[in-house]
Amino acid sequence: MNILFLAAEAEPYIKVGGLADVAGSLPPAIQQVAGAENVDIRVILPFHGALQRQSLAMHFVTQVQLRHYPQPVEADVYQLEHTDITTYLINGALLSPEAPVYTSDTGVDGIKYTFFSLAALEFCKSIQWKPDIIHANDWHTAPALYAIDVFADPFFSQSGKVITVHNLPYLGHGAAEALSVFGLPPATNSTLPVWAQQLPLPVGLYAADKIVAVSPTYAQEILTPDFGAGLDSYLVTRRADICGILNGIDYRLWDPENDPVLPYPYGIEQLSLKVKNKIKILQDFSLPAHADVILIGMITRMDYQKGVDLAIKALRSISDQPWLAFILGTGSPVLEQAVIQLHHELPDKVQAVIRFDPTLSHQIYAAADLLLIPSRYEPCGLTQMIAMKYGTLPLGRSTGGLKDTITDNHDPSISCGFLFENPAPDELAETLIRAIKTYQDHHAWKSMQINAMKQDFSWNQSALKYYQLYKEIYQYHHPLDKATRSNP
Ligand code: GLC
């Protein structure tokens, strides 16, 4: 089975958000669960400027030409060397070396990613490598699936199409023009709402055989008006094709026992060492080094989705309680400012570091007692799973993947975190107070930490589910194979 995996970003090469973690770790996990079965999974990424500035070992493979109006455009394909999974990079005049992975201008990104998606298909054809499954991720690569239907090239007539939705509201607004210059007309024959018929994600969903949401709860939520980004009625009609598969995390990268950037590595057996990481970070960042005051960590994109504003309001409202907080992240300038403001108001309680800093993020996971994730919606969320491995209890809103991974029965012997229902500062504040009280009961807290550290969110189960889904789609597109097998 040949699998073409398309994504805008992937670890360890280029990372902006959670998509990179998934695109970096899912393909090898699928390869692993396939074992001795013949699976050839290949990843293709755009040759972003940030990748061009790294000196990655690679070689030129070929150049392909794409239909584009008013004249065709060329794409150059490179292959990375020394990789476990075959990985290609696509470059071309439409991919500016100065451009970041994502800009705020979806018109510009639309051109880049439609170019990328179509070049990936053209490349497979030029090397005569027929994908049995084309797996797109989010709006950026969704045009590849739609193009298969529109161009009806016999080369791809048996290719199955899967799309994973990591974040539904990012539909690719503003990219309609981009689709049309590459010869992709609006999907007027579809039952998509008219406004969505020329947007990348909707047309990709329309073309996909199967739609995967990154957690079972999110798969249900996107069928409702609150989470459906205007597509809920359409998605309800596709209910039979939608499933939720929880993301996994790569424990080779997230293991407090073998984490090279921790001052004091620790595991479940040496949990008492965890507090040394806490004291170190409090001292390094000029917070009072109170080992017995709960340290609340927040590692996040500063985004409305992530409920940063809710966290600020809730923390401010309980400033008379014993807690310390460490907030790390970048994003919306308004939210960045609001976090800095909170630090100025409560300099002895709150530290805020406004930057993208993977090393510091590992150190906060290790140092914090509680990780705050008050997301308004959370398709999956990886931070809560990482936190649990580090014995840091997650406090999240009961939505999407947070609901699927955080067990909160209000009983420390069987819980591993704290959940609240509605995205309201007072509910969050109440739950914070519940966590602070639990923290003061050492026995209860430790029992929850151990429950959390014992959870298994590795890719094994989820990669198997993806593989089974691929097989199902494969059989659908190869009915003759099935007949041959049942009637030898
Ligand atoms: C997006 C979602 C996040 C998910 C990640 C990987 O960033 O917001 O919830 O974990 O994609 O699927």
Per-residue pLDDT of 32-44, as tens digits, reads 999 989 999 999 9
Determine the pLDDT at residue 480: 74
One domain for residues 465 and 449: no
Is the bond into 70 cis (omega within 30 degrees of 0)?
A: yes
Same domain, 233 and 277: no
In a domain, residue 352? The reply is: yes
Same structural domain for residues 207 and 164? Answer: yes
261 within a domain of the structure (yes/no): no
Contacts within 8 Å (CB) and 24+ apart, 383-386: 383/299, 383/300, 384/417, 385/248, 385/249, 385/455, 385/457, 386/249, 386/254
Q: Tell me if 399 is assigned to some domain.
A: yes
Q: Is 50 left (phi over 0), alpha (psi -120 to 50) or beta?
A: alpha
Check whether residue 394 and residue 465 sit in a common domain.
no
Q: Are residues 42 and 162 in the same domain?
A: yes
24 pocket-lining for ligand 1 (C-beta < 6 Å):
no
Provide the CATH number for the domain around residue 153. Answer: 3.40.50.2000
The SS3 assignment for 66 reads strand
Does residue 167 have its Cβ closer than 6 Å to ligand 1? yes
Whole-number Å distance, alpha carbon 55 to ligand 1 midpoint, is 28
Reply yes or no on whether the pLDDT at 355 is more than 90. Answer: yes
Distance CA 200, CA 206 (A): 10
The answer to whether residues 406 and 471 belong to one domain is no
Ligand 1 centre and the CA of 125: distance in Å? 31
Place of tokens 């976090």: 339
pTM: 0.94
Where is average pLDDT lowest: 13-17, 41-45, 426-430, 437-441? 13-17
C-alpha of residue 410 to centroid of ligand 1, in Å: 27
Query: What percent of the chain has pLDDT above 90?
Result: 95
Contact 438, 448 (CB under 8 A): yes
CA of 445 to the centre of ligand 1 (A): 28
State the chain's mean pLDDT as an integer: 96
How many other β-carbons are positioned within 10 Å of the β-carbon of residue 80? 18
For residues 317 and 344, state if they share a domain.
yes
297 lines ligand 1 (CB under 6 A): no
Atom number in ligand 1 closest to CA 214:
12
Q: Which residue has the higher pLDDT, 188 or 486?
A: 188
Domain that includes residue 170, residue range: 2-248+459-486
By the 8 A CB rule, do 363 and 265 touch? no
7 C-alpha to ligand 1 centroid (Å): 13
Q: Which of 15, 102, 167 to mutate to test the pocket of ligand 1 (most atoms within 8 A of CB)?
A: 167
Are 413 and 481 members of one domain?
Answer: no
Instruction: With a cut of 60, say whether residue 84 has pLDDT above it.
Output: yes
Is 157 within 8 Å of 128 (Cβ atoms)?
Answer: no
